[in-house]
Amino acid sequence: MIIDAETCTGCRRCIPYCTVGAIKLNGKSVFIDQDTCVECGVCLRSEVCQVDSIGQPELSWPRVLRAQFSDPAVRHPTGVAGRGTEEMKTNDVTGRFKEGEVGFGFEFGRPGVGTTFADVEKATRALAEHVEFSKDNPVTLLIDPKTGRLQDNRVRRERVLSAIIECKTSEEKAVEVIRIIQTIAGKIDTVFSVDAINRCVDGTIPVKKHLDKAGIHVRVNGKTCIGLGRPLADI
């Protein structure tokens, strides 16, 4: 996103609209820090500028990734709008996570901090040998799933509002995966949360006993399928 210095009056009204603090003051004029801007489109869509000084130039690769991951109005090549797949959280239609498996979602940059793909890659590289990455996830599309490395080095410096790594492993390996993430957490320069998804059996959450034993506290949330999705796979 850019601000037209010729027409901008310097009124500052747009500054608080930026999701990541990229609209900055330089003396009396206002500009958008291009390194910080994640191309979320909020400043433009809000129509806060009375003189139409905010504009969206055409984005080329790899900068276009910023908009694809940060602006819900921009379509991602995977067809997934935004950062991750809805199916990860509902496990509703495809039955992605079978009994004995644990799904993981690592949500980088939320809320309101943002992340670079360099930080996302630290996690995908550390996880690669231990998990199976979800095929239709926007982050997976950018990496070599065997090594977790970004396929295009230029992507590393791109910043987005958030990105979700989605993957799965066995219940027995769930603790190992969390330990790996704990090991690299100090090297990651943003906030992130960890979602673990496990199919209930007889009213219990099987992976919880492994996590409890390892001293890993989890907050249990429920997503209840009310039959709107028709399962396409056996569980």
Question: Least CB distance from residue 178 to ligand SF4, whole Å?
Answer: 31
CB of 48 to ligand SF4, least distance (A): 5
Among 131, 198, 189, 190, residue whose Cα is nearest residue 165: 131
Question: Is residue 2 part of the contact set for ligand SF4 (CB under 6 A)?
Answer: no
CB atoms within 10 A of CB 187: 10
Considering the complex, state which of residue 53 and residue 169 has its C-beta at the smaller distance from ligand SF4.
53
Query: Binders of ligand SF4 among 44-103, rule CB under 6 A?
Result: 48-49, 51, 53-54
**Cβ-count burial 114-151 (b if 16+ within 10 Å, e if not):** bbbbbbbbbbbbbbbeebbbbebbbbbebbebeebebe
User: Cβ neighbours of residue 215 under 8 Å, at least 6 residues apart?
Assistant: none
CB of 26 to ligand SF4, least distance (A): 11
Quote the least distance from Cβ 25 to ligand SF4, whole Å: 9
Nearer to ligand SF4, 53 or 162 (CB): 53
Query: Which segment (20-28, 103-111, 147-155, 167-175) binds ligand SF4 by CB under 6 A?
Result: 20-28
